[in-house]
A and B are shown apart, each in its own frame.
Chain A
Amino acid sequence: MPLFEAVRLAIDSIWSHKLRSFLTLLGIVISVLALIAVVSIIQGVNRYVAVRVTNLGPGVYVLNKFGLVTNLKEWLKAQKRKNIWMEDYLVLKESLRLAKRVGAGILQFDAVKAGNQRLEEVLIRGVTANMLQIRKEQVQTGRYISPHDYDHRGYVCFIGQDVATKLFRNSPLDKTLTLRGQTFRVIGVAEPMGAVFGQPQDDFVHIPLTTGLKIYGVQKNSISIFVEALNPSMMERSQDEARLLLRARRHQKYGQEDDFGIISATAISGLWERLTGTIATVALGVAAVFLVVGGIVVMNIMLASVTERTQEIGVRKALGARRRDLMLQFLVEACVLSTSGGLIGVAAAAVMLKIVSLATPIPTLMSIPAVIVAVTISAIVGLFFGIYPANKAASLDPIAALRSE
């Protein structure tokens, strides 16, 4: 019997038991759905993290006191490290040969007031003028902190979209706000950055680093040094150069661990991907279990189908169907059954990913490799679990089969 005949037969047979076939397929549907959804969502989240969470462009990394701290022990250890000082920044800025730009910043959370409006826990960043190029903030109106503001410890600020709308009714440009009892003139407003994981990214105030150190205290603030490598491919060599220099300045011995941290978009993504990798492994395990359960259900339903169609099998044998013809017919039926489960799973995953992308900011593109793998595996499951029922059908004695009712 030609293959396409077998496929046509299989579709007929499955279609004539729509509800039963669908229920049979739930296990496979769920497993394919889980597989595709998890892989696609994790990929989406990874991309999202890489692009959005760090706010660092490609080729940019940060040297700071803490680095990427993932647990309390590391944090307590990092707490004892020496601060990074302005001198370190200035030396690095002069000496780094593989860097296009070197900037610096400090970070504080503080309350901001304008008129009778007050915002708590606003992210205050003391910055160098080149941070506009190094980081991802963009000017919407007005201008960014200038070298002049930096040199003269100007009381000027560049504010995020949220701060602008919450503190000022009209254009905030040239209006003033109060920070740590000091009055700052607003010189620019940033483009909206949106939110990351529901955390708004627009409630920040940038002031000149020099002014920031003055109002928050030079001794209390460890500086973060932002380095943009000559180009993104020079990232690692540039990091090595900066690390070497900073270690030398801090008199670290050979073999001693860095007493500062380096953060880059790749480092954050890497950390994140280790975490999501664990989630993916668990999800794939669950999917595999569902797949096996689904396969056993398919086997059961095929066995029932063989029993139900004993007479048909007898007729086919009497009319000249060979063993291999019946093997083919029932294997193809099991395979088509489980593959359609896979395809339903793909459709369900598409719907689910659409919902995720509408409800969350995570970009969810269906992973094509995941789709191919899932559909292929569901077909293989059908083939594998179809062998026993198909063999049973092919081995029926034609006389007994014909006589059965």
Chain B
Amino acid sequence: MEIRETVSISHSSVMESASHRRARRRREFLIEGALLLAALVSVAATITILFVLVFESVGFFETVPLLDFLTDTLWTPLFDDPHYGILPLLAGTIVTSVVGLVVAIPVGTVSAVYLSEFASARLREIIKPVLEMLGAVPTVVYGYFALLVVTPALQWIWPELPGFNMLGPGVVIGIMILPLVISLSEDAMRAVPMMLREGSYAMGATRLQTAWRVVVPAATSGIVAAYVLGISRAVGETMVVAIAAGQNPNLTWNPMEPAATITAYIVQVALGDLPHGSIGYQSIFAAGLVLAVMTFAFNIVGHLMRKRFREVY
């Protein structure tokens, strides 16, 4: 009797919940769909970036032959006698980035080795937030710093240095990418198994010898990945160079001279009032395409190398 009752109750509750369950399943399906849509926004954004850059650049390359773009040594799109050679802007981008790397790579590597192999936990607790703060300062503030603090300081050493130059912003870019370089290469070094260090100590090596001859070589791909991602950041840096490196395209490899970078050119044009669809308007997309291709390439190489160091251990 009792058993039958329970059976009938559970039976009716199954009947009741069938429509209930269907509604619930539909709701679950809709929610999953909505979440998927949100996740697809990043795919859409990537595709749209490529599409916008390529679409406007196609218009640009209908007027400007690709060969001129790559070989002409003048960039004067807004002059009466326009030249569209990307080389001067590219040189500016490369020089400022190289100056940045000359600062960031030695300082970053030494700091990372120290933090990973020597520093006490307490010192690391102090340094980490400082580096985070250094990474959080808005780039426009770094631009101010490059123009009004670093360049005057450098002029004190080299009085002939012009007010706009690539050296000051380059140094500031180096300091800006320092937190990224340090934290990524420290991650790589901390991923090196303790065994390797212990083996080295057992052979009588000092901490310093172990750090440079065992840990750093074992973490090479991760450290190089840190450099590459740092380069990518330096190449795309905009406000520091737009403020402190000057606005005139200048084909030179001398960091003491002023020169515009690809990013500074885009800012300069955007500040003016160029009509939509004009060649000047299209030229910032062509310049942006060059920048995007460069950073994509660096990012891909960097992430492949980071993956590699993760797989080894």
A and B assemble together: no
Q: What is A's interface to B at a CB cutoff of 8 Å?
A: none
Q: What is B's interface to A at a CB cutoff of 8 Å?
A: none
